[in-house]
């Protein structure tokens, strides 16, 4: 096994998922300390074109600044390999996912999160149901059918590809939901990750 979790897509939902996963580190939780994560991205997030004036609690901000900021937050925690590669194929082999990239390399993980956006789904090898995305006003947008974000055992879908409305907060929120679910499975009990300000 190369990684515990592989996230495919480094936009709103994928980065939020990766950030929540790594934020379980440095808390004295033995099960979390040595977890390794990979995030594949082709750098085509819709956030690159957005000016966000409706993110609760944030002053207007360009989407590309949010992308940079979340990547920095992830790097501060450590534990994620950023791979600037397109994922082309995923196969389930004996309960583990084999994730193949355009360079021909294959990586293995027990958990995979699909966060590749709603423009198309061109990853081969999976038995997933890709349908028209009902939340998009534009035709041709797709989503993958799921139950509570799970498509197959330990295979999740988040963001616009999960059929959420195309807004930063809802897509990021789905990435957080799925990360907490995966962390809870890794821990063998329900997990929440909260921090409090230092006193004094």
Ligand X SMILES: Cc1cc2nc3c(=O)[nH]c(=O)nc-3n(C[C@H](O)[C@H](O)[C@H](O)COP(=O)(O)OP(=O)(O)OC[C@H]3O[C@@H](n4cnc5c(N)ncnc54)[C@H](O)[C@@H]3O)c2cc1C
Q: Where do contacts with ligand X occur on this chain (CB under 6 A)? A: 8-14, 40-47, 49-50, 52-54, 63, 86-87, 115-117, 123, 159-161, 166-169, 171
Nearer to ligand X, 43 or 195 (CB): 43
Q: Is 140 left (phi over 0), alpha (psi -120 to 50) or beta?
A: left
Angstrom distance (rounded) from CA 90 to CA 157 = 14
Residue 144, SS3?
strand
Q: What are the E-state strand segments in 150-199?
A: 150-152, 155-157
Please, which residue, 154 or 166, has the CB nearer to ligand X?
A: 166
Tell me the residue number closest to ligand X, measured at CB. Answer: 11
The nearer residue to ligand X, 26 or 108, going by C-beta atoms, is: 108
Q: How far is the CB of 51 from ligand X (least distance, A)?
A: 6
**Which three-class secondary structure state does DSSP give residue 62?**
strand
Q: Which token pair is 164?
A: 């959420």
Query: 88 near 101, Cβ under 8 Å?
Result: yes
Residue 48 CB, shortest distance to ligand X, in Å, is 8
Nearest residue to 40 (alpha-carbon basis) of 22, 21, 14, 13? 14
Nearer residue to ligand X within complex by CB, 23 or 160 = 160
For residue 16, the minimal CB distance to ligand X (Å) is 8
Whole-number minimum distance, CB 129 to ligand X, in Å? 18
Helix (H) and strand (E) counts for the chain? Answer: 4, 13
- Closest to ligand X by CB, 104 vs 197, is 104
In angstroms, what is the minimal distance from the CB of 155 to ligand X? 15
CB atoms within 10 A of CB 71: 18
- C-alpha–C-alpha distance, residues 5 and 163, integer Å: 22
Q: Closest distance between ligand X and the C-beta of residue 2, in Å?
A: 16
Closer Cβ to ligand X, 32 or 114, answer by number: 114
């Amino acid at each position: 096994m190369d990684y515990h979790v592989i996230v495919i897509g480094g936009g709103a939902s994928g980065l939020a998922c990766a950030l929540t996963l790594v934020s379980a580190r440095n808390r004295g939780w033995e099960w979390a300390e040595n977890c390794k994560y990979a995030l594949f991205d082709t750098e085509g997030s819709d956030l690159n074109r957005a000016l966000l004036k409706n993110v609760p609690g944030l002053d207007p901000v360009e989407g590309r600044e949010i992308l940079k900021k979340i990547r920095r937050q992830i790097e501060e925690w450590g534990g994620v390999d950023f791979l600037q590669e397109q994922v082309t194929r995923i196969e389930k082999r004996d309960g583990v996912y084999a994730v193949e990239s355009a360079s021909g390399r294959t990586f293995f993980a027990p958990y995979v999160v699909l966060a590749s956006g709603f423009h198309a789904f061109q990853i081969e090898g999976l038995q997933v149901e890709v349908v028209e995305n009902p939340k998009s006003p534009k035709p041709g947008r797709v989503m993958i059918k799921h139950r509570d974000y799970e498509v197959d055992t330990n295979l999740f879908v988040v963001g616009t590809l999960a059929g959420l409305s195309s807004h930063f907060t809802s897509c990021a929120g789905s990435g957080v939901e799925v990360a907490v679910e995966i962390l809870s499975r890794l821990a063998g009990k329900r997990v929440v990750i909260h921090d409090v300000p230092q006193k004094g």
